[in-house]
Amino acid sequence: MTREEKQVIVDELSAKFATYSFFYITDAAGLSVASINRFRRLCYDQGMEYKVYKNTLIRKALDTLNADTSAMDAALKGQSGILFSKESGSAPAKLLKRYYKAEAYAKGVEPKPAFKGAYIDSDVFTGIENLEVLSTIKSKQDLIGEIVGLLQSPAKNVLSALQSSGGKLAGILKTLSEKE
């Protein structure tokens, strides 16, 4: 691969890192072409993209981010694939867990592609022990929805109380007027 071809790949990766604020790095070593293609199809069906890159090119592209990604160096060993997601930071973790359950754990083998690290909104997570935590992270839209719901809740309670009290008050007034 020539220097120009490598630079094109680094530029492509840098653009993806700028576009996608969530990506996971996995170990693709030991996977057959059929397994990688099956995993890529699953990713595509879930609105994600999976591609295998050289570690040195990933490192150069990571250096273009405006964040400290030095913790990701531990993940850049062996054959690395990157799983990109626009939707949420937890979607790739959920996908990996489902894939592991269906493919690896059922057969009693080590899960592949093995999770090595993740970049979520400028935070770096490395190690398989973080996969469970990453799968429970709420998306930005979910958090905004919860905040809006919390803000609307007191207003709904006041309106509900006023409506029910108003109906009771009208009923009492009507009863009193009929008795006179």
**What residue segments make up the domains of the chain, in order of their start?**
3-137, 138-180
Average confidence score pLDDT of the chain:
82
Number of other CB atoms surrounding residue 102 within 10 Å: 11
Q: Residue 26: what pLDDT?
A: 92
Q: Residue 7: what pLDDT?
A: 92
> Is it true that domain 3-137 has CATH number 3.30.56.10?
no
Number of other CB atoms surrounding residue 151 within 10 Å: 9
Q: What global pTM score does this model have?
A: 0.73
